[in-house]
A and B are shown apart, each in its own frame.
Chain A
Amino acid sequence: MASVDLDAIRHALRLARDKGFREVELEVGETRFSAGLSARPAAPRPSSAAPQDETVTVGAPIVGYLQKVRPSLKPGSKVQEGDVLACVTALGLDTDVPAPCDGEIVSVEAAEGDALEYGQPIAVLRKRRPDA
C-alpha cells in the first residue's frame, strides 16, 4: 500500500514555506495530504536588545558546489532578506542561497566553483539594525 511518508511531507512543507506557497497538496496512490500555510510564519524578529553590529554567517544549505554567484555577493553590498546571493549545485540541481535577513555583506568566504560542506560559510552579513 502506497502512503505519503513523513519525510516527504516535511520536505514539501519546507519547500512551500521557502517559496512562499499558500497551499500544499501531496498525493501518493490513494493517500492524500493537504495543508494551508499562513502567509508568512512568524520569523524570529531581531530583538531590540541585540548587539548593534550583530553578524550572521550564511552557510551552505546543502553539500555541493558554489555556482551562479550574484553580483550582490561582494563586500559592502546591501541586501534584503530573501535576496538570492548564489546557488549551491548538487547532482545537477541548484539550491538557492538567500540572504537570511536585511543587511550588508561584510565578507565573502567562498568563491564560484568551491566545494562546500553542509553549513560551510559562504558570506558574513551584518544585520541592518531595526532602527536603521
Chain B
Amino acid sequence: MFRKVLVANRGEIACRVIRACREMGIRTVAIYSKADRDSLHRLMADEAVCVGEGPNGDSYLNLGNVLMAVQISGAEAVHPGYGYFSERAHFAQALQSIGAKFIGPPPSAIEAMGDKAAAKRAAKAAGCPVVPGSEDPIPDEATALRVAHKIGYPVLLKAVAGGGGRGIRRVEDPSELPGLFRMAAAEAKASFGSGELLVEKCVVAPRHVEIQILADEHGNVVHLGERECSVQNLRHQKILEEAPYAAMTDRLRRRMGEAAVAVAKAVGYQNAGTVEFLVDASGHFYFLEMNTRLQVEHPVTEAVTGIDVVQQMLRIAAGEPLPFRQKDVRIHGHAIEARITAQDPERDFAPSTGRIERWIQPGGLGVRVDTHVYAGFEVAPYYDPMIAKLIVSAEDRPAAVRRLRAALHDFHVDGIATNIPFLRKLVEHPQYEEGAVDTSFVARFLGETEDAR
C-alpha cells in the first residue's frame, strides 16, 4: 500500500479522501490555494503545499505547481477527486512521468470515454443499448424524416456542435419536422457556427440512473448497483441523489449492471467509474456517458452497500485485487444525498460568499455530513458553490425521506445564503415523497412555487 498520497483537489472531497487515507494508515498531502488557507482539507492533512492564488487556474489547475507539489512532498500516488484534473488523461500521463501513480483509470480509458460520440460507439460495440439515432449528421429534411420514422416519434434534433442542453429541438410528429429542421439548422449555424444536426429518439420522462462500477488491475469488474439522480436544477446539475432507484427491479438492476460492466471491460477500465443511463417509463435504458472518476454522489452507494468506494480506489491503485465478487455485493436500505450549496434561492440561486457566522449541522443515526467548512470559514468566490453533502440512510425510502426532512430541518447556516430553505420545500413535495420525479421535476416545482406567490 502507498505510504503517502497527495490529494489534488479541495473542499469536501479532499477531506473525504484524507479521511479514507487516515483509516488506512496512509500519510496525506493537501494542496491548497491562498484563498483556502483555512479550509478543513488543509488542516486535516498531515502535510500541505500551497499551489497558488485563489483562482483555479492559478492553483488547483496550475499543472506545474501541482506536479511539483507531488514531487517535493514525495507522494507516491495522487487522488484527483472529481472535477479539476480527474478526467484529464494528460495529468495521469504527467504523473507517470514523475513516477507517481494516478488513483483512477488508465489514460486510454479516460480518452475513450472523453469523446461523447466515441463513447457511444464503444458502448454500442459492447452490446449496451444507446439512444437510437443517426450516427452522422443529417444532410436534409427527407433523410431526417426517414430516420425519425425508423426510430419513432417524438425525436430530438440536436446540433452536432451544441452541448449542455443547448441546441436541441423536440419534434412530435412528421408534419412539423421539415419546418423545425430548417429552423434548428439555422439556429445551430447562428449559435455554434455549424448547422449540422443529428436526429435522436426523445426518451420521454427520462430518469437519470447510473451504475457505480469498480474494476481492479486483475480483470475483476463488479458493479455496486445504481444511483438515481433525476432531481436536477435548470442547468442539469444534480441536487438530490439516491440509491437504490425507487422503481428498480432485480432484473433491471442485473441487466443495467451487466451492461455497465461490459462497457467498462470494453475500454480496459480500471478503478472506480460510473456509467450513466437514461431510463424511460417502461424500463428501457440507454447509455448516456461514462464518468471516469469518483462522483460527488458516491456516498449513497457506500450507505447501501457498506463498501467504502474511496478506500477501494486506493487499494485498486496499489495493485490489490477486489476483495469481493459480484455475488457478495448486497443492497441494504435506502440512502439519499442532498447537495448543500452557497446559493441564494431568493435570488435565482446566485452564488453567496462571505463568512459563515453559524454552522449547525444535523447528526444522529443514519446522518452523514461531508464538508470542508465550519463556523468562521470564509466562502471564497472562486470555487464551486457546494459547501457540504448531507447523506441520510434508513431501512427504506419513506424512512429515508423522513430522515432527510428532519436533518434539513436541523441544518442551520448563518452569514451566507444557502439552498437549504429550497431543499426543505422540495423534499416536502408529494411527488418527491412518492419517488415519481423525472428530470423535469425541478423546473415544474419552481413553476409551482412561482405561481403560489
Contacts and interface: CB of A to CB of B under 8 A. Distances in A.
A and B interact: yes
A117 B51 contact: yes
Given A119-B50, A120-B50, A62 B69 contact: no
Interface in B57-81: 57, 59, 64-65, 67-69, 72
A90 B67 CA distance: 9
A116 B72 CA distance: 8
A63 B64 contact: yes
A24 interface: no
Contacts of B72: 63-65, 115-117
Contact of A63 (B34, B57, B65, B193): B65
A62 B50 contact: no
A7 interface: yes
Contacts of B67: 90-91
Interface string A102-132: 0000000000000111111000000000000
Nearest to B72: A115
B104 interface: no
A12 to B, nearest CB: 14
Nearest to A90: B68
A118 B57 contact: no
B369 interface: no
Given A63-B49, A117-B49, A118-B50, A91 B68 contact: yes
Contacts of B52: 118
A57 B67 CA distance: 25
Contact of A117 (B50, B57, B98): B50
Contacts of B69: 63, 117
Contacts of B59: 118
A111 B193 CA distance: 55
Given A63-B69, A63-B72, A117-B69, A90 B64 contact: yes
Interface residues of B, number: 15
Nearest to A93: B64
A115 B57 CA distance: 22
A66 to B, nearest CB: 11
Contacts of A10: 57
A79 B316 CA distance: 53
A65 B72 CA distance: 8
A117 B33 CA distance: 11
B65 A62 contact: yes
A1 B52 CA distance: 31
Interface in A1-16: 1, 7, 10
A84 to B, nearest CB: 19
A112 to B, nearest CB: 15
A118 B51 contact: yes
Contact of B68 (A1, A63, A119): A63
A90 to B, nearest CB: 5
Contacts of A120: 50
Nearest to B33: A118
Contact of A62 (B34, B57, B68): B68
A97 to B, nearest CB: 15
Nearest to A95: B64
Given A7-B57, A115-B72, A119-B34, A62 B49 contact: no
Contacts of A65: 72
Contacts of A117: 49-51, 69, 72
Contacts of B50: 63, 117-120
Q: Which of B57, B59, B65, B98 has the most CB of A within 10 A?
A: B65
Contacts of A64: 68, 72
A115 B74 CA distance: 11
A95 to B, nearest CB: 9
Nearest to B48: A117
Nearest to A65: B72
A99 to B, nearest CB: 21
A65 B68 CA distance: 9
A93 B64 CA distance: 10
A65 B49 CA distance: 13
Interface string A1-44: 10000010010000000000000000000000000000000000
Interface in B183-224: 193
Interface string B75-113: 000000000000000000000001000000000000000
A118 B59 CA distance: 9
A125 to B, nearest CB: 20
A115 B167 CA distance: 50
B349 to A, nearest CB: 25
A64 B68 CA distance: 6
A10 B53 CA distance: 15
Interface string B363-381: 0000000000000000000
9 contacts: A63-B72, A64-B68, A90-B64, A90-B65, A90-B67, A91-B64, A93-B64, A115-B72, A118-B59
Interface of B: 34, 49-52, 57, 59, 64-65, 67-69, 72, 98, 193
Closest 7 CB pairs of A and B: A115-B72, A63-B68, A63-B65, A117-B50, A118-B50, A90-B68, A117-B49
Given A63-B65, A63-B68, 12 more contacts: A7-B57, A62-B64, A62-B68, A63-B49, A63-B51, A63-B64, A65-B72, A90-B64, A90-B68, A91-B64, A117-B50, A120-B50
